Amino acid sequence: MELPLKREVEGYYVFCKTDVINKRAVLQWNQPMTEGAMSGRLRNLREIHDFLQSMFTHRFRYGERKMLNESSAISEAQQNLIMKHADTRTFLNHYLPRHIDTDIQNIMNGRESNKSLMRAITRMSKWIDKRRPRHLTSEQRASLREHPEYIEVTRRLSEHTEACESDPSAAMQSRLEKLRREISNTFGRLERALQKKINLLGKLFTWPTSQSQEVEWQRRNAAVAAISRYCCFLEGGPLRGRRKRRAPSDGFDEEQTNLLPKTAKNRYSSAGPLKQDILLVNAENHIKKAKKPRRCFQCYGNTEISIHRRTQKYSEYKSTLRHF
């Protein structure tokens, strides 16, 4: 469905650039907002509302994909087509929320699910705390200039400024501008880190204010949430496990094939006895001579398994100890 727009606004950007001219914010409709500016504004939005999870641009697709998944009017194939996913596995691994927001109690009791109530309980605005301070005080900002990292960047900028006076080349000026941006970025990063640390310590170093057990649980949950925000994890949910490994086959791997002479390599497709004998001899010599053999002597002596398993060479010596 086409969206009619006025001719004069067809070339405008929805997220446009903003410049400060004469101490006033002016929207530059014909210039797009940079990725860094968008990330910074989303981060400020999260600080203003005190959302539990971090805000970033891709998070908007999470709610969109969840709404499509819950809609009965859209099939699974249409969901993948809209989101440009190859299969549903992408949604299950990266988009499906790990926090269940379904009214399970009413469903198990045979009653109709209260979707509006569950949506109000689990939405992001539930974590809004209007009393939370958002900016540092003057004393706190002044303490950042005494940070060793900030002092080091300032020293490098001062030395390079003196060097530019004697050699005002284009390369030196470019390096000077880079150091100025670096000192600004360092101060901003230290400022954000200090805000997180103050919020973390403010939630951890508290004392009981009531004899109610529920109030104590709320104090404990607030401390846990502060620790979660302080950690460097953008998304919730379980951590990924070990990378999946390919199941071993009964054929010969590349390393075992490289041990064969050229005549045997040419006949790799045929299962002749010469190839097997060479692999067995090499495995036997390795087990006898190596100080920490990476081939298992127990597997080598088992004639009921394949040659590949008998002569398999592991990545480290400890792998052979798992067989006992």
| pLDDT tens by residue, 246-303 | 655 555 555 555 555 555 445 444 445 677 888 888 888 888 888 888 888 888 888 8
State the average pLDDT over residues 81-95: 80
SS3 state of residue 29 = strand
Tokens of 204: 């951890």
Are the C-beta atoms of 233 and 289 separated by less than 8 Å? no
Are the C-beta atoms of 114 and 106 separated by less than 8 Å? yes
Determine if the pTM surpasses 0.75.
no
The rounded distance, in Å, linking the Cα atoms of 324 and 311 is: 17
State the average pLDDT over residues 38-67: 69
More confident residue, 183 or 321: 183
As a whole number, the mean pLDDT across the chain is 75
The residue assigned the tokens 């926090």 is 99
The residue assigned the tokens 């900002």 is 141
Which of 124, 121, 140, 139 is closest to 199 using CA atoms?
140
pLDDT at 237 over 60: no
pLDDT reported for residue 63: 67
Whats the size of the chain, residue-wise?
A: 324
More confident residue, 138 or 279: 279
What's the CA angle centered on 213, arms 212 and 214, to 5 degrees? 90
Tokens of 62: 């999470």
The residue assigned the tokens 């040419």 is 266
R_g of the chain, CA atoms, integer Å? 31
Residue 106 phi/psi, 5-degree rounding, is -70, -35
Are the C-beta atoms of 24 and 5 separated by less than 8 Å? no
Q: Which residues pair with 20 in a beta bridge?
A: 25
Q: Which residues pair with 17 in a beta bridge?
A: 28
The rounded distance, in Å, linking the Cα atoms of 249 and 243 is: 18
More confident residue, 254 or 158: 158
